[in-house]
Structure 1
């Protein structure tokens, strides 16, 4: 069963979300969490630490090191399990109860490339 489509939003709201491509440079364990892994992500002009709840989703969370993916980079920093997250990883499937996969560009693009 598919989920219902969410309520319509305006382009103004969508335009407020800064989604960019970044390369995942490292994936490290967050010791105080059963779910979180700490990603160091290269966005070209800047690097961010982004926490993602992928620990139980993959046999080897480090398998995504070196891969490009989509991230929201303008979320307010959030402290979780003693670490600070500076964005959000986009993945596909979690909300629908399937094993998530990365949302990725179809071919390599420069880090920091914006969506839209």
Structure 2
């Protein structure tokens, strides 16, 4: 098996694990609830394509239904900090995120493929 196929398989496993976490883990309820309330209706096709943990917040880029990416900044302190939420279609997302690494772009491509199954 080639190196590329192994890294794709690893990314697919990460995407599927992230999907399962997002849809069923108690720790993700706040995040999933936020997505559902802002987008009204979504399917099970949600994949975390990027997650960055910072000191005061978690940053998520999530592919929703294979057609849009939502970017969410979730503060760790839930007391009063504002949650930032942006949505864009995949093309807009890629255009505004030219600094994405090749692996990040490939992970997004794989997530789109998974969402179309």
TM-score bracket for the superposition, by shorter chain length:
0.3 to 0.5
**Which has a greater percent of strand?**
1
TM normalised by structure 2 equals: 0.33
**Which has a greater percent of helix?**
2
